[in-house]
Amino acid sequence: MVDAVQQLTGAEEVVWNLADLVPSADEASIQIALDEVLSEAQSFAVTYRGKVAALNATGLAKALKWQGEFAERFGALINFAQLQWTTETTNPAYGALIQKMQEYASRLEQITLFFTLEWTNAPDSTAELLTDPALEPYKHFLAEQRKLRPYRLSEPEEKILSEKEVTGRSAWSRFYGQTVSSIQYDFDGKKLPQEAVLRQLYNPDRRVRERAASSITAGLRTQLPTLTYVFNTVLADKASDDRLRKFPTWITSRNVSNEASDESVQALIDTVTSRYDIVARYYNIKKRLLGLDELYDYDRYAPLEDADSYYSWDRARDTVLAAFYGFDAQVGSIAQEFFDKKWIHAPVQPGKRGGAYASPTVTNIHPYIFVNYSGQGRDVMTLAHELGHGIHMRLSQPRGYYGAGTPLTTAETASVFAEMMVFNDMMTKEPSVQVKVAMLAKKIEDTFATVFRQISMNRFEEAIHTHRRTRGELTTQHITEHWLNTQRAMFQNSVNLRDDYGIWWSYVSHFISVPGYVYAYAFGELLVMALLGEYRKQGDSFVPRYIEMLSAGGSDSPINITAKAGINLNDPTFWQQGVNMINDMVTQLEGLVEQM
Q: Per-residue pLDDT tens for 327-368?
A: 999 999 999 999 999 999 999 998 899 889 999 999 999 999
Q: Are 378 and 314 in contact (CB under 8 A)?
A: no
The predicted model gives 498-525 an average pLDDT of 94
**Nearest-CA neighbor of 450 among 378, 543, 358?**
378
Greatest mean pLDDT among 165-179, 335-349, 530-544: 335-349
% the chain with pLDDT above 90: 79
Examine the pLDDT at 5 and tell me if it is beyond 60. no
Map residue 557 onto helix, strand or coil. coil
Place 378 in a pLDDT band, splitting at 50, 70 and 90. confident
DSSP for 309-378, written as a single string: -B--HHHHHHHHHHHHHHH-HHHHHHHHHHHHTT-EE----TTPPSS-EEE---TTS--EEE----SBHH
Cα 126 to Cα 159: distance, rounded to the nearest angstrom? 25
Q: What is the pLDDT of residues 417-450, one digit of tens each?
A: 999 999 988 888 888 888 889 889 989 998 999 9
**Nearest-CA neighbor of 505 among 468, 557, 453, 448?**
453
Q: Are 388 and 323 in contact (CB under 8 A)?
A: no
pLDDT of residue 343: 98
Cα 33 to Cα 72: distance, rounded to the nearest angstrom? 12
Measure Cα distances from 555 to 400, 401, 469, 552 in Å.
9, 10, 36, 6
Tell me the one-letter amino acid at 265.
Answer: V
Cα–chain-centroid distance for residue 479?
23
Place 172 in a pLDDT band, splitting at 50, 70 and 90. very high
Cα 568 to Cα 550: distance, rounded to the nearest angstrom? 16
pLDDT of residue 3: 44
Cα 404 to Cα 555: distance, rounded to the nearest angstrom? 7
Phi-psi region of 553 (alpha: psi -120 to 50; beta: other; left: phi over 0): left
Measure Cα distances from 311 to 9, 246, 318, 383 in Å.
7, 50, 10, 12
Q: What is the pLDDT of residues 65-109, one digit of tens each?
A: 999 999 999 999 999 999 999 999 989 999 999 999 999 999 999
Centre a 10 Å sphere on the Cβ of residue 83 and count the other Cβ atoms it contains.
20
Q: Are 304 and 593 in contact (CB under 8 A)?
A: no
Cα 427 to Cα 301: distance, rounded to the nearest angstrom? 19
Q: What is the pLDDT of residues 259-277, one digit of tens each?
A: 988 888 998 999 999 999 9
Examine the pLDDT at 299 and tell me if it is beyond 90. yes
pLDDT of residue 439: 87
Structural domains in the chain, sorted by start: 18-173 (1.20.140.70), 184-222 (no CATH), 231-307+440-596 (1.10.1370.20)
Q: Is 207 exposed, middle or buried (0-12, 13-18, 19+ CB in 10 A)?
A: exposed
Question: CA dihedral in degrees (566, 569, 572, 574; nearest 10)?
Answer: 60
Measure Cα distances from 360 to 54, 230, 271, 281 in Å.
34, 28, 32, 39
pLDDT of residue 2: 37
pLDDT of residue 309: 66
